[in-house]
Amino acid sequence: MTVTHHASAGILSDQHAAKREEIVELLTTAYWMEIETVTNYLAQSRNLDGIRAKDVADDLAADVTEELGHATLFAERIKDLYGTVPGSADFPRDYDQGLQPNGDPTDLVSVIKGVIDAESGAISHYTRIIEATDGVDWATQDMVIAILRDEEGHMRTYERYLREFS
Ligand SMILES: [Fe+2]
Ligand SMILES: [Fe+2]
């Protein structure tokens, strides 16, 4: 298959082919991180039991939609940069331990800590993308800055929950 590139400036241009590949790889990791939060937040929002857990469970359920929105944005950007969005066969094996169900549906604190870990990982990785795109791929950078802001909001929400419940 021949791909014809027409842009003479910016990240779509031939002169930035190597940088573009690097960014697609970073975006693919970000895509999987989002998909992982979708599966784990969905599971834990339903697994949690009890009155005390209700607000956290409801918040997690709402976040599933938001994280799926992030995954969709990453997928669109991968495609725009001449990449291919992967399928489930490529699902990473180094999954997030912190959000695996531990058999105790009332263990609210471990779920909150798991969410904080996941958000912290996202914040680190997205900061890296913002740095990698600086000066060469403004559109990806702009998109990831907006997503970073969402993740920082999630982080603060669950930090407040942690203070309240532990
Ligand atoms: Fe996200
Ligand atoms: Fe998040």
pLDDT tens-digit map of 109-128: 999 999 999 999 999 999 99
Is 160 within the bounds of a domain?
Answer: yes
Could you tell me the distance, in angstroms and rounded to a whole number, from the CA of residue 130 to the centre of ligand 1?
A: 15
- Number of domains composing the chain: 1
**Any residues with CB less than 8 A from the CB of 6 and at least 6 apart, and which?**
12
Report the alpha-carbon distance of residue 59 to residue 16 in Å, rounded.
41
* CATH (domain of 150): 1.20.1260.10
94 vs 148, residue with greater confidence: 148
Q: pTM (2 decimals)? A: 0.95
pLDDT tens-digit map of 8-30: 999 999 999 999 999 999 999 99
Is 98 within the bounds of a domain?
Answer: no
Which domain range does residue 23 map to?
A: 15-84+104-165
Report the alpha-carbon distance of residue 154 to residue 114 in Å, rounded.
12
Residue list, CB under 5 A from ion ligand 2: 151, 154
Average of per-residue pLDDT across 134-159: 98
| Residue 96 reports pLDDT greater than 80 | no
Could you tell me the distance, in angstroms and rounded to a whole number, from the CA of residue 67 to the centre of ligand 2?
A: 6
Could you tell me the distance, in angstroms and rounded to a whole number, from the CA of residue 6 to the centre of ligand 1?
A: 32
Is 20 within the bounds of a domain?
Answer: yes
Is 9 within the bounds of a domain?
Answer: no
Is 97 within the bounds of a domain?
Answer: no
Could you tell me the distance, in angstroms and rounded to a whole number, from the CA of residue 56 to the centre of ligand 2?
A: 14
Is 7 within the bounds of a domain?
Answer: no
Report the alpha-carbon distance of residue 152 to residue 21 in Å, rounded.
27
| Residue 165 reports pLDDT greater than 80 | yes
Could you tell me the distance, in angstroms and rounded to a whole number, from the CA of residue 40 to the centre of ligand 1?
A: 12
pLDDT at 166: 85
